[in-house]
Amino acid sequence: MSIDRRRLIAASAAGVAGAMAMSPDAARAAPSASTLGRDVTQYGVRPGSPDDQSKNLQRAIDEAARLQAPLALPPGVYRTGMLRLQSGTQLVGVRGATRLVFNGGASMLLGEGANRVGLSGITLDGGGIPLPTRRGLVHCLGGRDIRIVDCEITDSGGNGVWLEQVSGEISGNIFTKIASTAVVSFDALGLIVSRNSITGTNNNGIEILRTAVGDDGTQVLDNRIEDIKAGPGGTGQHGNAINAFRAGNVIIRGNRIKDCDYSAVRGNSASNIQITGNSVSDVREVALYSEFAFQGAVIANNTVDGAAVGVSVCNFNEGGRLAVVQGNVIRNLLPKRPIATAPDDDAGIGIYVEADTSVTGNVIENAPAFGIIAGWGKYLRDVAISGNVIRNAFVGVGVSVVPGAGTALVNNNMISETPRGAVVGLDHARAVTTDLSAEGAQRYAQVVVGSNAVRR
């Protein structure tokens, strides 16, 4: 059947008439702006009231979650105790103007098995009220697709955000005055922690942890982390900007880190960790650490300005092995570690490695002790040190030469201003040979010293 212009116009007119004749019930069922969300003031919540708003806030959260609708919190202060997050809860505030102030309880916001939870544009003020151990101001257990975005979390009397078996994203938030750690994740199911600003914590900045060694895959990207104190003391488990423990395949990239009592990044028993492109200054212990029972680490393209040790890849005695340390700029090392660390832990070292590791293309300057060390006693195996620039270090490269130590290759490096020697044999931290790069020096079968450019 052919359709001419007259018939087309008639059909269009009939369609318009049908739409105008839609029943009132059908019209009410069609979505409109007023049905797309809820406002907390519809539930008797009063911004700015000095009274506790917990009861009405909880009713609003439950009803909005039931409708799968976002819940808007207009500008103002809302005083509250603990609120329970339901699956589908979406709390939306005005950034810098919507403020929840904590009156007390185990946490301010609690999600247990709650999926698809979103928090955005809200300031969560803990009021310095102490939280129980292992609790966060926001506390989520067993939730999928948890998103905390563009919020401010301040003055928490415990942790900022505590997650267990959670997937989702913690991004663009501001954490200040946190009594313990800003973000803690146990046994993540697919997590991104990115673009957050973390200032002034009393334990660690970010912790990526697992209850047992296993794959984790959390990505910690582009955060700014400053002023991290080791409040509980210890010998390195506290006072770190980023700590990965037992968590495999974690990526830590592009973070700006400064002023930490201990490390910028500490990977403990964290296999296949990638620590790349971070900017680190003014940390008091090892800046970038891969230690204990791990297999596989890439530490590349970082800058470190001010640390006791720039990079440490260690604990071959515990199974720690297999790494690439490449393209890092490390300078201005400190002569001492913090007081609480083990008395035999050295400082003033650019890079320290032990087993199955390539150290290449790094630039190290101003190391009071060693530019690079390979091995600790007998714990040395298959280390290649090549293409590095080392200047102004007491010793350029130190290599373990005790009985039982494995093989190290030192070749094609540029080494200058090293008064004790460019390449020296070690018994643990003690230099026991003359400069092995010098003509006629004693040779050791396990140390292959190639053609290095040495300026004494």
pLDDT for the residue numbered 19:
35
Residue 214 sits in the same domain as residue 332 = yes
Residue 322 and residue 449 share a domain: no
Tell me the average pLDDT across 205-219: 98
Q: Tell me, yes or no, whether 450 and 398 share the same domain.
A: yes
Q: Is residue 151 located within the same domain as residue 209? A: no
H or E segment and range at residue 386: strand 381-386
Global pTM exceeds 0.75: yes
pLDDT for 234 equals: 86
* Rounded Cα gap, residues 187 and 452, in angstroms: 46
**46-63 residue pLDDT tens:** 999 999 999 999 999 999
Please indicate, yes or no, if residue 8 is contained in any of the structural domains: no
As a whole number, mean pLDDT of residues 256-273 equals 98
For residue 5, being part of any structural domain is answered with: no
From 149, 170, 191, give the residue that closes a domain.
170
Average pLDDT of the residues of the chain: 92
The tens digit of pLDDT for each residue in 85-141 reads: 999 999 999 999 999 999 999 999 999 999 999 999 999 999 999 999 999 999 999
Res 44 pLDDT > 50? yes
Assess whether 301 and 381 both reside in one domain: no
From 344, 367, 393, give the residue that closes a domain: 344
In sequence order, the 6+-apart residues with CB closer than 8 A to the CB of 332 are 305, 306, 365, 366
In a domain, 105, yes or no: yes
Per-residue pLDDT at 340: 65
The enclosing domain of 71 has a CATH number of: 2.160.20.10
What pLDDT is recorded for position 21?
37
Q: Is residue 362 part of a domain?
A: no
Structural domains in the chain (count)? 3
- Domain of 124 in residue numbering reads as 35-170
Do residue 111 and residue 63 come from a single domain?
Answer: yes
In terms of Cβ atoms closer than 10 Å to its own Cβ (0-12, 13-18, 19+), residue 54 is middle
Give bridge partners of residue 313 from the DSSP assignment: 290, 353
User: What is the model's pLDDT at position 86?
Assistant: 97
User: What is the predicted pLDDT for the residue at 346?
Assistant: 85
Q: What is the mean pLDDT of residues 267-282?
A: 98
If asked whether residues 42 and 122 sit together in one domain, one would say yes
276 and 256 in a common domain: yes
Note the pLDDT of residue 36: 61
Q: What number is the average pLDDT over the span 274-281?
A: 98
Average pLDDT on 418-444 reads 95
Confidence of residue 343 (pLDDT cuts 50, 70, 90): low
Question: Do 332 and 352 lie in a common domain?
Answer: no
Please state, in angstroms and as integers, the Cα–Cα distance from residue 233 to each residue in 262, 338, 417, following that order.
10, 10, 37
Separation of alpha carbons 230 and 240, rounded Å: 8
282/314 same-domain check: yes
Q: Is residue 40 part of a domain?
A: yes
Residue 180 falls inside a structural domain: no
Dist. CA 61–CA 78, nearest whole Å: 14
Question: Looking at 322, 344, 366, which one is the last position of a domain?
Answer: 344
Assigned domain for 396 exists = yes
Does residue 194 sit within a domain?
no
Tell me how far apart the alpha carbons of residues 211 and 186 are, in angstroms, rounded to a whole number: 7
Percent above pLDDT 70 for the chain: 91
End-to-end Cα spacing for the chain: 97
Q: Region 144-149: what's the mean pLDDT?
A: 98
The reply to whether 149 and 243 lie within a common domain is: no
**Whether residue 97 sits in one domain with residue 212:** no
